[in-house]
Each structure stands twice: as C-alpha cells, then as structure tokens.
Amino acid sequence: MGRLSGKVAIVTGSTSGIGIGIANLYAAEGAKVVICGRRQEKGQAVVDGIVQAGGEASYHFMDITDIESIDKLFADTVEKYGKIDILVNNAANVGLKDGRIDELTLEMWDNIFQSDVRGTFYATKCAVSYMQKNEAGGSIINIGSMASCAGDLGSTAYACAKAGVDMLTQYTALQYGKQNIRCNCVRPGLIVTPQNEAYVPQALKDIFLSNIMVNRYGCPEDIGHMCVYLASDESSYVTGQIVNVDGGLNSHVSTVAQFKQLNSRTW
C-alpha cells in the first residue's frame, strides 16, 4: 500500500468497467484520483466508494470527443490539486462490431478515430504540457486493445484506431523521456466486467477461454494492477512499452486451441 502516495491521477472513462478497476486501485495505493466521464451519477458513485474506503477522489465531467471538456478537466485538476502526475487514457468508443471495410461508412470510421485516437492524442498533449512543469515528470498510460495485434474478421476501425494508440505511445515515450515523462500502453484481453457480463455471449467466452493460457477471463483489477505498476516509481526504467495483459492469448500460434481438441501437437 502507498505505492502512489502523493501522486495525482486522472483516469479517463472511469465511470464504468476497466476505468473503475484502475481508479479504485490507484486510490487504495494513496493517489488522489480524478474520476471523469460523461455520466455524473455513475462517476459520483465511484467517488463515494473510494471515499468510503478511505481514499481521496473527485468527479469531473469529460467527453473524450469534446476538446473544451478535456482542457477544462486538466485545468481544474491542477487548480484543485496543484499538479498532474499520472494520466490513464482509458476513455474510448469500443466498436467491437464495426464491421469489414466494405461495410464501414466514413462516418463510422471517423467516429471511432475521433474518440480513440484524436481524443487520446489531445489528452496526452494536455498532460505533457503540465507534466513538463513537474520536476519528477509523470507517467502516461494508454489503454490499447488486443484488437491491434493482428487482422480479424471485423472491428476494422477499432483495431486500426488502437494500432494508432500503440504508435502514439512510442512517439510520446521517445519525445519526452528525457524530461522524465514516461508513456506505456496496456492491451487488455477479454475483460469481463459487472457492466458487460450480461452482454458477452457464452459462445464468445468459450472461444476466448479455449485460447487463453490461464483458466479464467480477465477482470478490471488485472488491468488495474499493471497500471499501478506503470504509474509507480517501481517502473521508472520502463517506457515506450506495449504490454499485453490477456491471459496469454497472444503468446501462441493461432492453431493451438484446435490441436488441443484433437489431443495432438501436430498434424
């Protein structure tokens, strides 16, 4: 406990799912956490839970597609807490069913890129300008996706947008590392949350479980624990990295699950 004591953290998209898991662990480790998103009632509920557990948090409205709301988030955070040490770019439009290239419209493509790349870029740009004023710099953590690891049958715009986040991570790390500003990316695997569990088809769960190298799906805390490490001083020598937290999903060749069914190691 106390690995983030004295640090101020902004976690975008922290009114549900993975964002809540990250925010709760940050607060438990001593950070002052700014919960932000479009849903004030849900955001305040997260704040209330953190405060009841003995942590410190506040809610701030933010729409990742609205530049003015991002500006205000950072300015108000610095006014309230005096600095920003940690930014987690978690807010995104999860277009897991956005389709194939011939099915996508330019509007669908642009909507995904506006939130997942443009919004992440602008929040990073804002964070850098404030972190440059910190002697200790800061840590920026982007939440990517396993969708950017390889081609698939759908989710074209989402996967391409998240691939952009991967590259933005490395450019940010390169350009600001000498100013003690680190940037890393966490790619979650299948994360089952209280908000999405009822909507994840059993067939999809079965497909993933047959390919995951451990015996369970991921949970928000799995991503949160990695984000605590990347935000803490323990990872001061870690930057520009894209880390898969996916139960080993992307650590093997794509035929492993099928050969397991045949009880064979080869054809």
* Token reading at 186: 């966490």
Length of the chain: 267
**Residues with Cβ within 8 Å of residue 77, at least 6 apart in sequence:** 8, 10, 34, 60, 84
* CA distance linking residue 184 with residue 264, whole number of Å: 38
Please report, as a single letter, which amino acid is at residue 172: T
Q: Which strands form 242-245's sheet, in the order they lie side by side?
A: 56-61, 32-37, 8-12, 86-89, 138-143, 181-188, 242-245
Helices (H), the chain: 17-28, 40-52, 67-81, 106-113, 119-131, 156-176, 202-211, 220-231, 256-261
* CA distance linking residue 95 with residue 123, whole number of Å: 20
User: Which of the following is catalytic: 26, 59, 130, 158?
Assistant: 158
- Could you confirm whether 158 is annotated as catalytic? yes
Residue numbers annotated as active site: 158
